[in-house]
């Protein structure tokens, strides 16, 4: 019996209780859906497998004492197949204990479901655009981008697991002055000249200059404008390819790469996406002109000041591109737009929400902005190539993809992180990623040794899973779908990481107490085979959870 089964049973019992009250003359309008019934695992295992506070919730609308309501519901629960007992505790809590067969049946359910176990429908019907990283293509990805890459990708994974349709999108800021400064820096390096004022320093610029000269050996024969254009475009193409390769190595994949330049390009009618966005905002009544510029009245939607859309010289602002980009996402079918921004982008929150409001959408429903805090790595050295940053590639080579991804997803977005490399490099239990991965590797080793000893899954007798460590392990395995749904709802993949650490601990304790393999000349029996189901179910959930974090599940360590 799963938590979902219990929630449905409690919902039916509440409905029956309400009908009995109505039959006795009470006027009631009360209904409780299974989704509204929260089941929690008691802190002490002796209190049972699950606990519910539904009686406390419905007692007041019923005009009844909570303990009396709980007693009536507990009596109904106790009659259900698979429920060993249901007891009332405290002011009206119901502690539910499943019989061994009903609890143990979950092991086969998990193995049969495989990679789909833990997936649900709590976010079904949601079409989400998830934008994150979106670093300027003027240099390599740094430590801040590393966190947003790990966190954003993990959020999109749990949302998909909960049934949402999600597209990861990278917005390429390839227009504006920073691109000209980037091109000028590369051109200067190609000519052997100093970095221009406002330019980009670092060895990577010199490396890009070599690429430019290899692609265009006659760069020095071009006029200044052509040389700048050539250097900028070749360097841009190469740098963007390096960013994409870095993200691929980090196991982060984007479905859409959108160029800012596309928003500025004119169509056959001479109209750009930015021009079209201005007219759409004007049609909503939020555009006005002042000081020879065109403004959007974003203060109508909580912004601290109105924003200039087009300067007096006719050049659109960054805000104009942001507005056009937001509308473009909606035009492509994304009802919900999510942005994961760095701690230095707090000012964008009101600005982006104001764009949604000015476009006639609901800023509280159609756009969601998550602000991530900074991350530091003890002992990390600045990049030799970039000179003033810690690069993703250097971190990955030093600490490894799995350690980085797990650690960066292990904390809430709004929590600053200080990573201790010495801990992450240890092959000990105080290294969380090692602890979880080792648990998975142990399940794989048990499965291999079982096969060599003649233990297979040809028999399943869940009523035999009676040991206290088996009860605890099964209870944790039942929790996984709820953890995934909650992580998706709250945009908090760290809940999956913390769950996996708890599950790993319970698995290790079970392993120390319950043998899957026969001892000595002991014949293979139903208990060995059934425990193999539980072992493999544990491995499957560990594997599924690690995948939601973009972390591998090794079979040997």
- Sheet of strand 93-98, all strands in order from the earlier edge strand to the far edge: 39-40, 50-52, 93-98, 83-89
CB-based burial of residue 81 (10 Å sphere; 0-12 exposed, 13-18 middle, 19+ buried)? exposed
> What is the CATH T-level fold of the domain 110-122+426-548, as seen in this structure?
Isoleucyl-tRNA Synthetase; Domain 1 (1.10.730)
Residue 557 and residue 552: Cα distance in Å, rounded? Answer: 12
| Best CA proximity match to 374, nearest among 345, 403, 401 | 345
CB-based burial of residue 244 (10 Å sphere; 0-12 exposed, 13-18 middle, 19+ buried)? middle
Tell me yes or no: is domain 3-98 CATH 3.30.1360.70. Answer: yes
Estimate to the nearest angstrom the gap between the alpha carbon of 198 and the chain centroid.
36
Per-residue tokens: 431: 């290294």
CB-based burial of residue 229 (10 Å sphere; 0-12 exposed, 13-18 middle, 19+ buried)? middle
CB-based burial of residue 243 (10 Å sphere; 0-12 exposed, 13-18 middle, 19+ buried)? buried
Residue 498 and residue 538: Cα distance in Å, rounded? Answer: 16
Q: DSSP string spanning 172-196?
A: E--SSHHHHHHHHHHHHHHHTPPPP
Residue 79 and residue 101: Cα distance in Å, rounded? Answer: 16
Per-residue tokens: 220: 């020095």
Residue 301 and residue 361: Cα distance in Å, rounded? Answer: 11
Q: Are 40 and 51 in contact (CB under 8 A)?
A: yes
Please report which helix (H) or strand (E) contains residue 237, including its range.
Answer: helix 224-249
Domain positions in the chain: 3-98, 110-122+426-548, 127-173+253-375, 177-249
Beta bridge partners of 39: 52
Per-residue tokens: 227: 């040389």
CB-based burial of residue 343 (10 Å sphere; 0-12 exposed, 13-18 middle, 19+ buried)? middle
Q: How far is CA 476 from CA 28, 488, 544, in A?
A: 37, 19, 14
Residue 424 and residue 407: Cα distance in Å, rounded? Answer: 9
Task: Give residue 21's pLDDT.
Answer: 87
Q: How far is CA 440 from CA 443, 500, 502, 544, in A?
A: 5, 10, 13, 11
By three-state DSSP, how is residue 337 classified? Answer: strand
| Best CA proximity match to 258, nearest among 273, 245, 270 | 273
Each residue's pLDDT, cut to its tens digit, for the chain (557 residues) gives: 778 889 999 999 999 998 998 888 888 888 889 888 988 888 787 888 899 999 999 999 888 999 999 999 999 999 999 899 999 999 999 999 988 888 899 999 999 999 999 999 999 999 999 999 999 999 999 988 999 999 999 999 999 999 999 999 999 999 989 999 999 999 999 999 999 999 999 999 999 999 999 999 999 999 999 999 999 999 999 999 999 999 999 999 999 999 999 999 999 999 999 999 999 999 999 999 999 999 999 999 989 899 999 999 999 999 999 999 999 999 999 999 999 998 777 778 888 999 999 988 999 999 999 998 878 888 777 666 666 688 999 999 999 999 999 999 999 998 988 899 999 999 999 999 999 999 999 999 999 999 999 999 999 999 999 999 999 999 999 999 999 999 999 999 999 999 999 999 999 999 999 999 999 899 999 999 999 999 999 999 999 999 999 999 999 99
* Radius of gyration, alpha carbons of the chain: 29
Task: Give residue 387's pLDDT.
Answer: 67
Q: What is the pTM of this model?
A: 0.90
Residue 241 and residue 172: Cα distance in Å, rounded? Answer: 12
Terminal Cα distance for the chain, rounded: 34
Task: Give residue 369's pLDDT.
Answer: 94
Backbone angles phi, psi at 264, to 5 degrees: -90, -15
Q: Are 293 and 311 in contact (CB under 8 A)?
A: yes
Residue 98 and residue 552: Cα distance in Å, rounded? Answer: 34
Estimate to the nearest angstrom the gap between the alpha carbon of 189 and the chain centroid.
40
Per-residue tokens: 248: 């691929």
**CATH number of 127-173+253-375: 3.40.462.10, 3.40.50.300, 3.40.50.1000, 3.40.50.620?**
3.40.50.620
110-122+426-548 and 127-173+253-375: same fold? no
Q: DSSP string spanning 469-532?
A: HHHHHHHHHHHHHHHHHHHHHHT-THHHHHHHHHHHHHHHHHHHH--SSPPTTPPP-HHHHHHH
| Best CA proximity match to 542, nearest among 494, 501, 485 | 501
| Segments in 379-493 forming alpha helices (H) | 392-399, 401-409, 421-424, 432-452, 468-490
């Amino acid at each position: 019996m799963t938590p979902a089964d219990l929630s449905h049973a409690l919902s039916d019992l509440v409905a029956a209780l309400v009908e009995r009250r109505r039959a006795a003359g009470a006027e009631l309008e009360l209904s409780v859906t299974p989704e509204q019934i929260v089941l929690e695992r008691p802190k002490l295992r002796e209190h049972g497998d699950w606990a519910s506070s539904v009686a406390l919730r419905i007692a007041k609308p019923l005009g009844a004492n909570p303990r009396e309501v709980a007693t009536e519901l507990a009596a109904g629960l106790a009659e259900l197949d698979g429920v060993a007992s249901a007891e009332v505790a405290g002011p009206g809590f119901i502690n539910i204990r499943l019989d061994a067969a009903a609890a143990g049946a979950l092991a086969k359910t998990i193995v049969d479901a495989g990679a789909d176990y833990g997936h649900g429908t709590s976010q079904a019907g949601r079409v989400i655009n998830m934008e994150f990283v979106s670093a300027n293509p003027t240099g390599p990805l740094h430590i801040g981008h590393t966190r947003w890459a790990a966190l954003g990708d993990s959020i999109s994974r749990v949302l998909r697991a909960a049934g949402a349709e999600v597209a990861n999108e990278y917005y390429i800021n390839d227009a504006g002055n920073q691109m000209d400064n980037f091109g000028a820096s590369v051109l200067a390096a190609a000519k052997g000249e100093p970095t221009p004022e406002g330019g980009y320093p670092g060895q990577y610029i010199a490396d890009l200059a070599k690429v430019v000269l290899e692609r265009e050996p006659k760069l020095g024969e071009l006029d200044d404008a052509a040389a700048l254009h050539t250097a900028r475009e070749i360097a841009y193409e190469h740098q963007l390819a390096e960013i994409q390769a870095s993200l691929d190595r980090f196991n982060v994949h984007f479905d859409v790469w959108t160029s800012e330049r596309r928003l500025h390009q004119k169509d056959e009618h001479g109209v750009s996406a930015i021009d079209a966005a201005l007219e759409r905002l004007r049609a909503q009544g939020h555009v006005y002109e002042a000081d020879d510029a065109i403004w959007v009245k974003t203060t109508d939607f909580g912004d601290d000041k109105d924003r200039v859309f087009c300067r007096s010289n006719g050049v659109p602002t960054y805000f104009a591109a942001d507005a056009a980009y937001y509308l473009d996402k909606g035009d492509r079918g994304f009802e919900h737009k999510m942005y994961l921004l760095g701690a230095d982008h707090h000012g964008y929150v009101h600005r982006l929400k104001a764009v949604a409001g000015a476009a006639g959408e609901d800023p509280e429903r159609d756009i969601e902005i998550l602000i991530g805090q900074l991350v530091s790595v003890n002992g990390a050295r600045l990049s030799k190539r970039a000179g003033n940053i810690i690069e993703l590639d250097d971190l990955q080579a030093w600490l490894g993809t799995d350690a980085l991804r797990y650690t960066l997803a292990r904390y809430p977005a709004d929590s600053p992180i200080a990573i201790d490399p010495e801990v992450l490099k240890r092959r000990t239990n105080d290294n969380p990623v090692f602890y979880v991965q080792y648990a998975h590797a142990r399940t794989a080793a048990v499965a291999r040794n079982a096969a060599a000893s003649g233990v297979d899954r040809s028999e399943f007798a869940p009523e035999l899973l009676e040991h206290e460590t088996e009860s605890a392990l099964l209870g944790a395995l039942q929790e996984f779908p709820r953890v995934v749904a909650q992580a998706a709802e709250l945009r908090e993949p760290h809940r999956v990481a913390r769950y996996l650490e708890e599950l790993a601990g319970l698995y290790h304790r079970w392993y120390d107490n319950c043998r899957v393999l026969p001892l000595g000349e002991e014949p293979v029996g139903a208990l060995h085979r059934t425990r193999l189901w539980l072992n493999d179910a544990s491995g499957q959930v560990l594997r599924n959870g690690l995948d939601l974090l973009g972390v591998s599940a090794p079979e040997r360590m």
